[in-house]
Homo-oligomer: A and B are copies of this chain.
Amino acid sequence: MKKNKIPEVTIMRLSSYSRVLNDALAKGDKIISSKGISALTGVSPDQVRKDFAYFGEFGVRGIGYNIEELKNNISKIIGTDRNWKVAIAGLGHLGGSLVSYPGFLTRGFIMAGIFDVKNIGEKYGNLYVEHIDNFETIAKKVGFDLGIIVVPKEFAQNVADIMIKSGIKAILNFAPIMLDVPENVEIKNVDLSMFLEMLSYYMSIKM
């Protein structure tokens, strides 16, 4: 299965197809068409077909896709066919809400370490807040796969350095700052106001 060179927007859509396929399976459906996926995701049927063509999934003309197979293939592509251990740094409002974000666990992302510089020892779910200074030691024991940074921007680079030094190769950064990371580390910046700006863009063009 070809796994590289898939555009980022396609990965985002695969991720969203995979959700509706799960729902369809849960309802007992076996087969779905590109049009059916389109109706559930808002992506055009043509785009759906194009996205699947990246990994050689063409369905059966006039019939559709076997939902279970398609779902499994997408999982293999986006890496949700296994679990990932996540470490989060920064337990402010947003960070605290991410620790218990229900969508993470159901998609195989397991909170495995929570770090801050205050409220050490406080309990979130079955985890205790650890001091960021102990990150490397704990990482050695737990083996984190992914890091989430939700600290104030002035501390974000330092936290990223600690995570990388501890072996983390992929970071989701909510701090509003570009972090400097080595080439072999994947970083994804998220700014939630970006989504509101996509809406304000649409509102503006209608005015």
- The answer to whether A25 has its CB under 8 Å from any CB of chain B is no
Q: Which 10 A/B pairs are nearest by Cβ-Cβ distance?
A: A79-B200, A79-B204, A93-B97, A170-B199, A103-B193, A186-B202, A97-B97, A94-B97, A15-B197, A107-B193
Q: Which residues of A contact B (CB under 8 A)?
A: 3-4, 6, 8-9, 11-12, 15-16, 19-20, 40-42, 76-80, 84, 86, 92-94, 96-98, 100-101, 103-104, 106-109, 145-146, 148, 169-172, 176, 178, 186, 188-206
Task: Considering the complex, give the chain B residue whose CB is closest to the CB of A199.
Answer: B170
Assess whether B100 is in contact with A15, with CB atoms less than 8 Å apart: no
Assess whether B176 is in contact with A103, with CB atoms less than 8 Å apart: yes
Give min CB distance, A137 to chain B, whole Å: 23
Assess whether B80 is in contact with A11, with CB atoms less than 8 Å apart: no
Cβ of A200: which chain B residues have Cβ within 8 Å of it?
Answer: 78-80, 84, 108-109, 145-146, 170
Cβ of A97: which chain B residues have Cβ within 8 Å of it?
Answer: 92-94, 96-97
Assess whether B198 is in contact with A103, with CB atoms less than 8 Å apart: no
